[in-house]
Amino acid sequence: MKYFVAVLLLAAVVFADAEWKIQTAENLNAYRPECANSLSIPEDKVNEYKKWNFPNDEKTQCYIKCIFGKMGLFNEKDGFNVEHLVKQLGQGKNETIIRPEVVKCADKNPQKTNACQWAYRGFDCFKKAHLDLVQTSVKKN
């Protein structure tokens, strides 16, 4: 019985991951208004985000968490999905080079900060280390 349960759990993980797809600019453009509306973020601030200007404030942190959540890259319980991030940022590049950078930025929340701060901290790390990869990863495929 234990073996059967283990196989089912493994199949569920594999199937769930198989459903995830690399996110595109179209996905990001769909998520932006959803996240902005749910957080009451004004249009001028969203326009700044589109220019890759992300101030370290509570609304921006939660906006990043919302976007990453919708993209399947972050959730409040587990934090960052390293496999999805490697695929999203790598997109055909050598994943063995990208993985250590992703792992470094995708911390396990040692500061025990709230989910918005946690998501923002990881995003800020990705952005500082590899802004070009972050920007390219959501361009039209």
Q: Are the beta carbons of 73 and 80 closer than 8 angstroms?
A: yes
Task: Provide the sign of the torsion angle of the four alpha carbons 60, 32, 86, 62, taken in this order.
Answer: positive
pLDDT single digits (tens) 110-133: 888 999 999 999 999 988 876 565
From CA 102, how far away is CA 122, in angstroms rounded?
Answer: 9
Domain enclosing residue 79, as ranges: 23-137
Give yes or no for residue 84 having a pLDDT over 60. Answer: yes
Structural domain contains residue 2:
no
Mean of pLDDT values over 106-110: 89
| Residue 119 covered by a domain | yes
Q: What is the pLDDT of residues 9-45, one digit of tens each?
A: 333 333 345 689 988 889 989 999 999 999 999 999 9
| Secondary structure of residue 79 in the 3-state scheme | strand
Q: Is residue 61 exposed (0-12), middle (13-18) or buried (19+ Cβ within 10 Å)?
A: buried
pTM above 0.85, yes or no: no
Please indicate, yes or no, if residue 12 is contained in any of the structural domains.
Answer: no
